[in-house]
Amino acid sequence: MLASVQMPTPSVVNSPFYDAIPLGEPIPPNEKHAVSVSLPRWQDVVDYEEGRISDILKTGYPRFFIHRSIQQLANVLKCKFGRPDEQAILFPSMQSASECRDFIREFSRRAGGTCDPQVRIVRFCVLAQAAPDGSAPDCVQASNSSEAPIQLHCVLFPGDLWPHAKAFWQHTGLGISSRLADECLRILAHNESILGGCSEILKDGRRGLPAVPARGGGFGRSRYQRPMTSSIFAPASSEPSRAASPAPSTSTSTSSSSTSASMFMSAIDHQEDELTVEHAMYVEERFGRNLPFEQASLAKCALRRRIAGTLLSSGGLEDALGSAPVASVRHGGISEDDVYLFATGMASIYSAHQVAMLERAVAQETPDFTPSDCEAYIKKRGDLSFVRAPFAIGKAICFGFPYTDTLKILQKWGPGCHFFGHGTDKDLDALEEMLENYPRDEPPVVSLFCEFPSNPLLRSADLVRLRRLADKHGFVIVIDETIGNFVNVDVLPYADMVVSSLTKVFSGECNVMGGSLVLNPKSARAATLRNVLKVRYEDTQWPEDSIFLERNSRDFVPRVARIDTNAEAICEYLLEAKAAPNSVVRDVFYPKYVTRNHYDACRRTHQYASESAHQGGGFGGLFSVVLKTPEAARAFYDALSCAKGPSLGTSCTLACPYTLLAHYAELPWAKTMEVDEELVRVSVGCEETDTLIEMCRQALEAASSA
């Protein structure tokens, strides 16, 4: 019952100042599920891109660096189901695994490889075994969660195709969560302690990888109620490698007890770790303010309402969840039913692209289609993700310089995209001219994607004019509001779909991934887009990740206000430094000073949520500073006394040489887009303002001496 959940009112406190995190350590320190890694020197970033420090990194950004727990679980399944020359990669659903399989096959063909590489999908079920006396397993706690087993979908493929599989994982963000992997490993370790024995083939799966302690807190807490079987594994099914349908049929094979007797931790280790991990879970729920695992569905409800604007950050969680949904304070009257949660921000962007393409493809045949019409089209096409030609639909448009994987998604799925990389009014003139003179023998444009503002140049597009063009030419607009965030800007009136990475400032704690898609109910295409989502959308956000996202985001609004204040003060200081004689600063990019008129058109002019929030929207917490020489840029970055690594939106200040990190293999091209190698991107946190300004002063001093 909700009445038992008492949560304190969130407040914003000063973030710790991380000024000495060693190379390769997680950010935040000692956080197993950290989504950033420390790269404290400019040379460290170069070495990272050159692959010289892979063995030093304890973690990394999850879409680029596959978490150690996921590697461990994938190795276990590869050893059990794979051939010696195969690799494995894991997904939470058959749909995402099938799309990965199709991507590997298609890009292998394009690279001149075999026309039909042997790519297989194995569905593997993880189910906790009952103790001999029928009692609950020690490693899991009884709850009201589903008793269904965890289903993993393992894509097995020839090892030389790994770059294609890794590209799919990176671009789409559809892979499994590290917390999901940990739960599977804990259950398998528990099963070993019950069944005994030790399988050499599965021991190989953990070789060279750290052990995962058993703990409660995961999915499968009540699964001990199911009858104990003779095998540690539930039946697994292997998809025939010849099939190429979006929803492949599977053949079932049951693993024998002789090959499934154990995992990779002894029962003694399992019992020794038990108290430590159970204590950690107790601390998270009692003092960390986490909802209990059995209330993960309530956490998801709270997230959807918070994103819709109906759950005020200063309001009580209990009251908000106990009340009926209310009209949104965001423009357009959206409700929680218009909000879709994803495991990562890129998964929401990838899904928006897929939804836009599928909506156009089906509507061309049946204008007012139903979900059944959509399903029939998918079955007829036989290509769920539009990765194979021919395409009966037009291209997308990428307006402005986007995050690197957004552009890759638009280029690699569907017929491609028109790229207007500067995102300026001049680019908008060129876009309008292209649309007015579009070849009649080509399918019309399907969608336009843009960030508001863009990363890393913080430019804001003229959304008013883009909306007029979309209405005139019939394409969908998808806006990524991650950088602006919906505390500061309201872009929904100009979009058909709004996507966001909840990993960033919405969470702030740098310890969980998440994404969202908001469907504009006032969009002219809302009905058909919703019908596509009914068919295509999957909620694959791991429940424990939802719990952490919900907890982290309770102070979202006042935290954004604090970050905005800090960032604005730092940028004012840097602009003063730029104006000084012999300054090493060439440019400062911040929405307050870049395309301000377009930003103000979408900037909130009213109080968003609570009395503690500032009046109106700020300019965000992200800025980029460009130094005049490579030597100055290197010295400036090295001297910054803050956390340094990938990601943004963290409660602690986080910096990175963005161009090196995101475009190392294409630096000359990035320069043509005005994204220079000397650019340092800074995501401002909640530290004391004076401390941050002094940090920048010292870094500029070092740059001046370089």
Q: What is the dihedral of CA 301, 303, 307, 311, to 10 degrees?
A: 70
Task: Locate 214 and state its tokens.
Answer: 């058993």
Question: Which residue, 67, 112, 78, 97, is CA-closest to 168?
Answer: 97
pLDDT-above-90 percentage for the chain: 70
| CA distance linking residue 455 with residue 673, whole number of Å | 12
Q: What is the mean pLDDT of residues 447-467?
A: 98
Rg of the chain over Cα atoms, rounded to whole angstroms, equals 25
Phi-psi category of 310—alpha, beta or left, where left has phi over 0 and alpha has psi -120 to 50?
Answer: alpha
pLDDT bucket at 703, cuts 50 / 70 / 90: very high
Question: Which residue, 117, 55, 152, 382, is CA-closest to 244?
Answer: 382
Angle between helix 345-365 and 404-412 (nearest 10): 30
Task: Locate 192 and state its tokens.
Answer: 């070993």
pLDDT at 9 over 50: no
- DSSP 3-state assignment of 658? helix
At residue 213, the pLDDT reads 43
Measured at the CA of 442, the angle between CA 439 and CA 443, to 5 degrees, comes to 125
Is the peptide bond preceding residue 28 cis, with omega within 30 degrees of 0? yes
Pairing of strands 497-501, 417-420: unpaired
List the alpha helices (DSSP H) in 82-177: 94-110, 162-172
Query: pLDDT higher for 210 or 15?
Result: 15
Q: What is the mean pLDDT of residues 315-339?
A: 60
At residue 136, the pLDDT reads 55
Q: Which of 12-16, 73-77, 158-162, 433-437 has the lowest mean pLDDT?
A: 12-16
Domains of the chain, first to last: 61-286 (no CATH), 335-553 (3.40.640.10), 556-704 (3.90.1150.10)
pLDDT bucket at 141, cuts 50 / 70 / 90: very low
| CA distance linking residue 150 with residue 163, whole number of Å | 27
Task: Locate 526 and state its tokens.
Answer: 């809302």
Question: Which residue, 34, 29, 35, is CA-closest to 647?
Answer: 35
Q: What is the mean pLDDT of residues 432-461?
A: 97
Q: Which of 118-132, 275-289, 515-529 has the lowest mean pLDDT?
A: 275-289
**pLDDT by residue (tens digit) across 389-424?**
888 899 999 999 999 999 999 999 999 999 999 999
pLDDT bucket at 195, cuts 50 / 70 / 90: confident
| CA distance linking residue 173 with residue 178, whole number of Å | 13
| CA distance linking residue 59 with residue 210, whole number of Å | 12
At residue 317, the pLDDT reads 57
**pLDDT by residue (tens digit) across 573-625?**
999 999 999 999 999 999 999 999 999 999 988 655 444 445 678 999 999 99
| CA distance linking residue 661 with residue 649, whole number of Å | 17
Q: Which of 128-142, 432-446, 507-521 has the lowest mean pLDDT?
A: 128-142
| CA distance linking residue 446 with residue 353, whole number of Å | 9
| CA distance linking residue 429 with residue 209, whole number of Å | 54
Distances in whole angstroms, Cα of residue 23 to Cα of each of 38, 60, 231, 651? 5, 11, 43, 20
pLDDT at 533 over 50: yes
pLDDT at 473 over 50: yes
Residue identified by tokens 């920048």 is 696
Is 596 buried (19+), middle (13-18) or exposed (0-12) by CB count in 10 A? Answer: middle
Q: What is the mean pLDDT of residues 564-580?
A: 98
| CA distance linking residue 139 with residue 83, whole number of Å | 32
pLDDT at 366 over 80: yes
pLDDT bucket at 491, cuts 50 / 70 / 90: very high
- Torsion over CA: 655, 660, 662, 667 (sign): positive
Half-sphere exposure of 1 (CA within 13 A, CB side): 2
Model confidence, pTM: 0.86
pLDDT bucket at 332, cuts 50 / 70 / 90: low
Question: Which residue, 665, 658, 595, is CA-closest to 625?
Answer: 658
Residue count (the chain): 706
pLDDT at 178 over 90: yes
Which residues is 519 bridged to in the sheet?
A: 497
| CA distance linking residue 517 with residue 348, whole number of Å | 6
CB 214 within 8 A of CB 191: no
Question: Which residue, 567, 695, 697, is CA-closest to 642?
Answer: 695
**pLDDT by residue (tens digit) across 35-61?**
999 999 999 999 999 999 989 999 999
At residue 129, the pLDDT reads 81
| CA distance linking residue 28 with residue 650, whole number of Å | 9
Q: Which of 152-166, 301-315, 410-424, 440-454 has the lowest mean pLDDT?
A: 301-315
Phi-psi category of 305—alpha, beta or left, where left has phi over 0 and alpha has psi -120 to 50?
Answer: alpha
Q: Which of 286-295, 315-324, 330-339 has the lowest mean pLDDT?
A: 315-324
pLDDT at 218 over 70: no
At residue 199, the pLDDT reads 46
CB 513 within 8 A of CB 545: yes
| CA distance linking residue 421 with residue 669, whole number of Å | 11
DSSP state letters, 471-535: HHHT-EEEEE-TTTHHHHB--GGG-SEEEEETTTTTT-SSS---EEEEE-TTSTTHHHHHHHHHH
Pairing of strands 417-420, 120-126: unpaired
Q: What is the mean pLDDT of residues 521-539?
A: 97
Task: Locate 326 and state its tokens.
Answer: 């209310």
Residue identified by tokens 């604090």 is 562
Question: Which residue, 87, 82, 57, is CA-closest to 71?
Answer: 87
pLDDT at 134 over 50: yes
At residue 322, the pLDDT reads 52
pLDDT at 221 over 90: no
At residue 144, the pLDDT reads 33
At residue 283, the pLDDT reads 52
pLDDT at 125 over 60: yes
Q: What is the dihedral of CA 399, 619, 351, 539, to 10 degrees?
A: 180
**pLDDT by residue (tens digit) across 683-701?**
999 999 999 999 999 999 9
Residue identified by tokens 């190379």 is 23
What is the chain's percent helix, strand, coil content, to nearest 5? 40, 10, 45
| CA distance linking residue 285 with residue 215, whole number of Å | 14
pLDDT at 252 over 80: no
Q: Which of 142-146, 375-379, 522-526, 564-568 has the lowest mean pLDDT?
A: 142-146
Pairing of strands 497-501, 515-519: antiparallel
| Mean pLDDT across the chain | 83
| CA distance linking residue 369 with residue 358, whole number of Å | 11
